[in-house]
Amino acid sequence: MANKTALYDQHLAMGAKVVDFGGWDMPLNYGSQIEEHKQVRTAAGMFDVSHMTIVDVTGADASEYLRYLLANDVARLDIKGKALYSGMLNEDGNVIDDLIVYRMTDPGVPGEWFRVVVNCATREKDLRWMAEKTAHFDVALTEQPELSMVAIQGPEAIAKAKSVLNESRGRLIDGLSIFQGLESEGWFIARTGYTGEDGLEIIIPEDEISEFWQALADAGVAPCGLGARDTLRLEAGMNLYGADMDESVSPLVSAMGWTVAWEPENRDFCGRAALEAEKAAGVAQKLVGLVMKSRGVLRGHQKVIVEGVGEGEITSGTFSPTLNVSIALARVPAGTKDLAMVDIRGKHVAVSVVRPPFVRNGKKVFS
């Protein structure tokens, strides 16, 4: 039997088509996936993301523990609330999961506290790995299953969210920088997201989420499902765990090299030795964007042929509702340049190779 979020009954009442996602009953759409996508690009949409796993990391060694656990360096979180995107790697340098970590306390204050948000489908292995790596650190890991989370995304998202919140929470939102989150009266409000639009991700006690969700709906924020979330994140060039990266590949071949903090050189982190060896040998593949202007849809696992260079594979593909063309992320040989072919049911179709993202803040951004 699948898990259900506190909003499950409201999803059904709003006409959601519910599917299993990582062991959770989640809304795929509420009617038209394309309309939900366009609502986020032009106005505001909301997503129930309560299936995500929230883990608080506390203790005297919380910072040093995370500096060892993650490829990115939490020492970069130099102010309270600042957020960091990182891969959590195994000793082979491959991606166990990708996650966001927030600094919940001021740097240098005794009893540090960080909040980590990881994917639901990888919960068990993530928690097992994180617990295993606590050895030799004075640190505690506390999962927070009683918390729910809603993402409100789009050019009108912040204004509409503020319209249903009290004055103090509105002031807090006004002061947030992008990729920062702060507490407010038992809520945690972050200016983050997974759509390529501005917006908020708000972590709320489970018993308060239903009223907040309904208030947002009454304010004109469109409920959106997993389908729109996927097309939005792909247009934004954002990786999906299990598709664009997993435990078989490193961040260096998954367009995540920018999340690896090589400095300082004396910081040891899980997978560092393997990544250094891969880098020294020459990274053989890269993750790129593909654009196909002819008819058809690019899909995951289709073969990519680069003449004179080699072959690769599409990791994620879809039809872009914003651009009205088919787009994809693909892992291809490092020598790939501007053009390639995709094998679609035995027919080789030309595609342009571009650097993601495809869309940012509702606008085309590739050349």
Q: Is residue 301 part of a domain?
A: yes
Which CATH number characterizes residue 332's domain? 2.40.30.110
pLDDT of residue 2: 86
Cβ contact 158:198 at 8 Å: yes
Task: Quote the domain boundaries for residue 338.
Answer: 284-364
pLDDT of residue 114: 98
pLDDT averages per 10-residue partition of the chain, 367 residues: 94 98 96 98 98 97 98 97 98 98 93 95 96 97 98 98 98 97 97 98 98 98 98 98 97 98 97 98 98 95 98 98 97 98 96 97 87
Domain count, the chain: 2
Q: Is residue 309 part of a domain?
A: yes
pLDDT of residue 110: 85
Cβ-based burial of 80 (10 A; exposed 0-12, middle 13-18, buried ≥19): middle
Query: Residues 19, 166: one domain?
Result: yes
Query: Residues 227, 292: one domain?
Result: no
Task: Show Cβ contacts of residue 365 under 8 Å, excluding neighbours closer than 6 positions.
Answer: 357, 358, 359
Q: Is residue 98 part of a domain?
A: no
Q: Is residue 126 part of a domain?
A: no
Q: What is the DSSP-derived secondary structure letter of residue 254?
A: T
Query: Residues 155, 43: one domain?
Result: yes
Cβ contact 203:191 at 8 Å: no
Query: Residues 213, 323: one domain?
Result: no
Query: Residues 351, 226: one domain?
Result: no
Query: Residues 212, 343: one domain?
Result: no
pLDDT of residue 108: 85
